[in-house]
Chains A and B, each alone.
Chain A
Amino acid sequence: MAQRVGIVAVAQTKFEEKPGLHIGELLYQASRDVMKQTGLEFKDDGTGIDSTIASGYDLMSGPGGAYMFLGYIVGAWQREDERVIEDGSMAVYYGAAQILSGHADVALVVGYSKETQIDKNLIECLSMDQVYQRRIGLDFVSSAALQAMRYTTKYKITPEQLAKVVVKSRKNAKNNPYAYCCDTITVKDVLRSTMLCDPIRVQEAKPTPVDGACALILANEEKAKKLTKKPVWITGMSSCYDHHELGYRDLANCDSLVTAASKAYKMAGITNPLKEFDVAEISEHYAYQEPLWCEGLGLCGKGEGGKLTDSGKTEMGGELPVNPSGGVLSGIPHCLAGMHSVVECALQLRGEADKRQVKGAKKALAHGVDGPAGQLHCVITLEN
């Protein structure tokens, strides 16, 4: 990257069911928070925020309704306001690219989601190929189940190893005041919970429905240094598409994640991710995804994700704590997961993560995913 992009402020709302709130109010809370932290407003003359980028599925928010309030609620009336129809990490990715291009100096990235107003699976099913896959009733859950089956069988990952991921996630979530689901749970509880979609059990899947919003302000190097004493720098980033048809890829691997990660690491000059990163926030919508994505991210060898979990390296206090915030398994709404990862990483690098703080964290890894069985991955590396 020609220059660094800085994260100058981050905010998130508490993640919980908020059926009484209008979706715009969630957005207002989070965006107002970051604007207060920096004292920035949308300005015409280049002294304030220049543009805003949001993420989220249009059909999740209501037909055509999503964009209606975005502009004026964050204060972007007659300003640049654009929307990425993917996971939130892609919005951060685009925001950073916009700053690198020089088109904007300061950008507000927001993500908001309200799962309580719609059945998430209905909308996810509409993302599938309409002739071959929708007819079978495939959606993101069932395709994840296919991937879980293939992955666990091929590399002999045991149900106990996956249950451990859930236990770790809920344990970490207890330290996170924003988390939705932080009940004490044991490996046995997970294995005894109802089957959601074989082999994925209810406790192994992301709790739903949850509402919430995240916001961050990105700035170019010069402005970031002026705006905050503790800027967090984006050093590398990339996204990568994989095949849509599940049969076209070996679901036990995640080739697109490998590509995205290698591109991002190259930008950031990372050669040994497990050693060099101090903390990682990974979007695991289902328990099997944490070991699988860890493999894709190069934190361990192929098929060794289960062993990595067993070794305790990914626990708090381990070599590379994964998801100190509790991650998606503690309940992050749809399309917000990746952005939440970036927000949490930024908090860790600023040393503001309170009880979930990883001591002395210098480099962090954020990851977001969208599409059936991890079709589109986004990797962002951060540094303080």
Chain B
Amino acid sequence: MTGERIAIVGVGQTVHKSKRTDVNTAELCAEAVEAALADAQLTMKDIDCVILGSFEPADGYSGPDKWIVPEIGAVGKAGFEMQNVGTTGGVVCATGFNMAASGLFENVLCVAWQKMDEAAGAFGRGGGGANEYWTGQFPMSPITNFARRTYDYMTRSGCTEEHLAMVRVKQDQCAQRNKYAQLKLGLTVEKVMNDFLLAWPIRRLHMCPTTAGSAAIIVCPEQRAKKVSKKPVWVEDWFTCHQGGALTMAEDPQASTLGYACKKIYKRCGIINPKKEIQAWEVYEPASTAELRWMEEVGICEDYTAWKLFEQGRVGTDKEIPFNPSGGVTATNPIGCTPVVRVVEAALQVRGDAEEHQVPGTINRALATAYGGQGENVVFLLKKTL
């Protein structure tokens, strides 16, 4: 990297809820921005660039940045809006990192939001990012995609429905300790296994909810970060890896770029044993069952063996593998904003500020990802020291 080294100096998010009728979209964003500015002890005057993003079809706007910018006080600043369906938040962060590392700006603010209580139906109507001619004629959605993916995973790995339920219970246990998380249900394996079946083997509890929420981060180049922050979280590397509809689920149900992206980023950062060298994981799993496959792809265990770790009870905030200590996406999912929440949570873990869901011990490195469509991924590595 020839550009500046960069750090996250402030993070903020709203308390995620299924409905926020008390605010409009812009006010929701303002909440997260205020939280991030307060966290960084900066004011809007210090910010010189804003990067915004949300998954538009799920919100019912086109280019909502235009009317949200004045409401968060960013008139007169440079910036633009990014969008990449499910990985929108990931791309927003990546753009913010690029803008800060380019040396053009001192303080870059990244904001993403989603208010799904307003137009969640539009997402289903649009086919959820489907090819207009081909998959547009089938009822395709993340639910059907993950039904197929999980079905395939179960055939290949030999895990049972009970293991899938164990994953969901672990996520719920984590979410209960996170004050920002949306779903805190007190689940048991029986409860999950008796839940309404959407499309076998996916039950309602396995899928991510619809959420209204927003999150923001503030990024600075090295010199500035050292000046303004006592606990900067350094951004080691990031990689956007998209395959945009290159493979349909029919062609390869396990199609994903996560494994590829992780291998590439580990190589760039000299990580040999990710399980040891990364102490906290915030991975975007739109369905709880995806967590199993993602654990394998990020390099925690061998292919098709992750379910054994759950059987042995080795995954959890205080346990050997702190995977999604925040509760993950099955607890909270404001689509376009979710990846920013992952980065925020990973940064909090590195700083040691995650309060009740803090992973014990020093967190030197944390990994956050974004997921979208049929296997698009953005991977971020954050670390404590330069």
Contacts and interface: CB of A to CB of B under 8 A. Distances in A.
Q: Do chains A and B touch in the complex (CB under 8 A)?
A: yes
Interface of A: 1-3, 44, 51, 57-60, 62-65, 67-72, 76-86, 90, 93-94, 96-98, 100-103, 123-124, 126-131, 133, 220, 238-245, 248, 255-256, 259-260, 263, 370-372, 375-376, 378
A58 B83 contact: yes
B82 A1 contact: no
Contacts of B240: 51, 80-82
B10 to A, nearest CB: 20
B244 A68 contact: yes
Contacts of A93: 80
A102 B239 contact: no
A57 B64 CA distance: 11
Contact of A127 (B63, B101, B373): B63
B132 interface: yes
A146 B296 CA distance: 58
B83 A101 contact: no
Interface of B: 1-4, 24, 50, 53, 56-57, 60-67, 69-70, 74-85, 91, 94-95, 97-104, 122, 125-132, 238-246, 257, 260, 264, 373
Contact of A69 (B78, B83, B245): B245
30 contacts: A58-B56, A58-B62, A60-B62, A63-B122, A64-B126, A67-B85, A68-B129, A72-B243, A77-B244, A79-B241, A82-B95, A82-B240, A83-B83, A85-B81, A94-B99, A97-B99, A97-B102, A97-B104, A101-B1, A102-B1, A103-B238, A126-B62, A130-B61, A241-B70, A241-B78, A244-B69, A371-B63, A376-B66, A376-B80, A378-B80
Contact of A79 (B65, B66, B95, B242): B242
Given A65-B129, A82-B84, A85-B83, A128 B94 contact: no
Q: List 10 tightest A-B contacts by C-beta distance, closest first.
A: A63-B126, A71-B244, A64-B129, A101-B101, A68-B245, A102-B2, A100-B102, A101-B3, A102-B3, A126-B62
Contacts of A79: 241-242
B95 A238 contact: no
A63 B127 contact: yes
A334 B81 CA distance: 16
- Which of A51, A81, A97, A220 lies at the interface centre, i.e. has the most chain B CB atoms within 10 A of its CB? A97
Nearest to A126: B62
A85 B246 contact: no
Contacts of A375: 66
Contacts of A242: 75-76
A243 B242 CA distance: 34
B126 A78 contact: no
Given A58-B56, A64-B85, A85-B82, A103 B1 contact: yes
A313 to B, nearest CB: 29
Contact of B244 (A44, A51, A60, A70): A70
Contacts of B50: 241
B131 A57 contact: no
A271 to B, nearest CB: 20
B74 A241 contact: yes
Nearest to A267: B104
Nearest to B237: A103
B69 A62 contact: no
A244 B67 contact: yes
Contact of B241 (A78, A83, A243, A370): A78
Given A71-B242, A127-B64, 11 more contacts: A44-B264, A59-B57, A64-B126, A79-B241, A82-B84, A85-B83, A94-B95, A97-B98, A97-B104, A101-B97, A127-B61
Nearest to A335: B63
B67 A67 contact: no
A85 B84 CA distance: 9
A62 to B, nearest CB: 5
A67 B84 contact: yes
Contacts of A85: 53, 56, 63, 65, 80-83
Given A123-B62, A126-B61, A241-B74, A2 B103 contact: yes
B8 to A, nearest CB: 15
Nearest to A3: B2
Contacts of A82: 82, 84, 91, 94-95, 240, 242
Nearest to B1: A102
A80 B83 contact: no
- Which of A80, A90, A372 lies at the interface centre, i.e. has the most chain B CB atoms within 10 A of its CB? A80
B2 A240 contact: no
Given A86-B81, A244-B67, A248-B70, A64 B130 contact: yes
A71 B53 CA distance: 20
B57 A64 contact: yes
Contacts of A78: 241-243, 257, 260
A44 B60 CA distance: 37
Contacts of B129: 63-65, 67-68
A238 B56 CA distance: 25
Nearest to A44: B264
